[in-house]
A and B are shown apart, each in its own frame.
Chain A
């Protein structure tokens, strides 16, 4: 490709030529169309639509349009005007009767804890108050609702619940990102760090980063000699050894992870063995699973092939003559390894480490199964918000930050090492 382009520069070419070349090029690109379509529909589309949820949350705005309109001019001090009380009452009573107020209340509750009970509790009595007022023929205007709502729950007489409603009613919001970074809105509207008991995501991001780094280094330390041995074995033995690496690769991730539970648990094989040989007492069994140790061991095992395979293919291409030459010129084996062999394997080391690290940073099944509580990573939190709390906005914000972090690392790697130096052999 490059050679053709450079040749087209060197000699003057009539303009229509690239046009004539366009047809075949387009046709060639057309072959990739099915793939492009497949990736867009099954991957890019869903991913983008989920990521939009991290800043776009129209549910409350759609459910309480009149309230939002009535709150628009409010300065956020004391209580809003009477028409806001009337609008909230109208929409609460209607939604309550149609039984979909609970969803709105849940959303507002995410902005300010405790709002769910304020809304559900008040609305129950508001329905009754409305019926009573209608039966008595009394007017249900803003002033009526102001008095009634404050009588039902004194909190409506202060600004907090109204601020929560207003904040939850923003269609475009940064609050998921704030929460994902352990920040929150302060009383004066500024951004402050969340109280210590609520700060969980930033420490988890750090933990995820450090565990991934640790697992990658462990894989490198264990995988480098293995790859070297396979690459330098006679073909027959190399095939057998390669099979030993590939076999776990083909085995289900779940099977491999649960096997570690059998091995490492309190009454497991490893502990039984250590007790049997008298290294530890029966009451001194070591906790090796359902904690960080379990996460490290199982993740290293699961990810090892991703490091060994790229390393192996790069190492196989290195002629043994280089090492022999280095030794015959007087280098010690260690010097030869460090100054001749290691630099040549760097493309493989880079490829393997990047692959392992990126896979590790998104891992969640293995930590979920063997990590206990101290071995959970940020992906487990994303899974929790997708599956259990159904707070998809927050899950999307966490995922976006994770994606951003990995992209940043990739760019840094590219700047420092150069992505074209990655080799798969």
Chain B
């Protein structure tokens, strides 16, 4: 009897010691004891795949820290909810600059010391090597992506659309349009298509009359719009023939073109460029690993890794030089990149300051307009 009590006691003690010796639990249920992991959150589909191949795998190889993927559709809502509830299970999140700046102001993202940024492969200093305005207090730039519109050549057989205004021209190009269910980019596109010069887009958007004008323009196509939520839906709608053209993130259309041989064409006229960043959720118990992960992602090699799988432009000049061909199909990448001068004849750079200040308002107004 006594010996069995001793056995039980020693088992409990040993288990207790093991638990105490384990690293802080960063692990999903079912992971082996001692294995560390962080959760990286991005937009899923072909972009998430590019990130896994581009730098998640090499990060795990180097550090032994596993990277779990989670999907979301952008926005700060879930981050805010996790921080307010005090249950943080996301660590690193892919966000746009406007979102990181807001999240930083609200204290739901960690400040990132710029001195952690690695130098380039040729010793380039980060402050010279990153493209302008790529990094902010809480966000480290990783890429530039573009909102464009694309059409299916097999469905739209007549004369092809070539200008942004064609997206809003139901007379010459009848048929349903896919648009992301979000005010981002489509407000700018509607104004530019309505003839507002791109330099004045945000000035006009800041006035009540300008907002009226945007929604009047959007009213003209509202009946014909299929709203999509996840980035992967855009190429799907186009492939299914549910829509004749759709707004999309340029990389998604590129992947459908090269990997699935879809007859899609991107119209670069009026493309809306935006900066993507990585940010760390405030209060994560895995802060050290999250910082290591962001530091790893900020290397030129990591950015080039993503750029060899999906057509998003890297945030560093030194990474641009490392990108040549698509890793799986051998397609030349640069003709498909949003920052290729050939694609930048008429582009708009998203004003993150404007969106940081007006984003919530625009979302509210947009939702009100949609529900009517």
Contact = CB atoms under 8 A, between A and B. Distances in A.
A99 B360 contact: no
A277 interface: no
Given A114-B361, A390-B80, A390-B81, A267 B107 contact: no
Contact of A102 (B107, B361, B367, B371): B107
Interface in B65-116: 75, 77, 80-81, 102-107, 111
A101 B108 CA distance: 11
Tell me what chain B mostly uses at the interface: helix, strand, loop, or mixed: helix
Interface string A383-425: 0100111100000000000000000000000000000000000
A384 B229 CA distance: 13
Q: How large is the interface on B (under 10, 10 to 19, 20 to 34, 35 or more residues)?
A: 20 to 34
B368 A200 contact: yes
B242 interface: yes
A225 interface: no
Contacts, number: 76
B327 interface: no
Contact of B106 (A100, A266, A372, A373): A100
A154 interface: no
B227 interface: yes
Contacts of B105: 99, 101-102, 105, 120
A203 B372 contact: yes
Interface string A116-151: 110011000000000000000000000000000000
B241 interface: yes
A387 B242 CA distance: 28
B242 A265 contact: yes
Contacts of B356: 120
Contact of A109 (B80, B103, B226, B361): B361
B105 to A, nearest CB: 3
Contacts of B240: 265-267
A197 B242 CA distance: 29
Contacts of B361: 109, 113-114, 116
Contacts of B107: 98-100, 102-103
Across the A-B interface, the 6 shortest Cβ-Cβ residue pairs: A102-B106, A102-B105, A117-B357, A99-B107, A200-B371, A100-B107
Interface of B: 75, 77, 80-81, 102-107, 111, 215, 225-227, 240-242, 356-358, 360-361, 363-365, 367-372
Interface of A: 98-103, 105-106, 109, 113-114, 116-117, 120-121, 197-198, 200, 203-204, 265-267, 290, 372-373, 376, 381, 384, 387-390
21 contacts: A99-B104, A102-B104, A102-B107, A103-B107, A113-B361, A116-B357, A116-B361, A117-B358, A120-B356, A197-B368, A203-B372, A265-B240, A266-B241, A267-B240, A267-B242, A373-B225, A373-B227, A373-B370, A384-B367, A387-B77, A389-B360
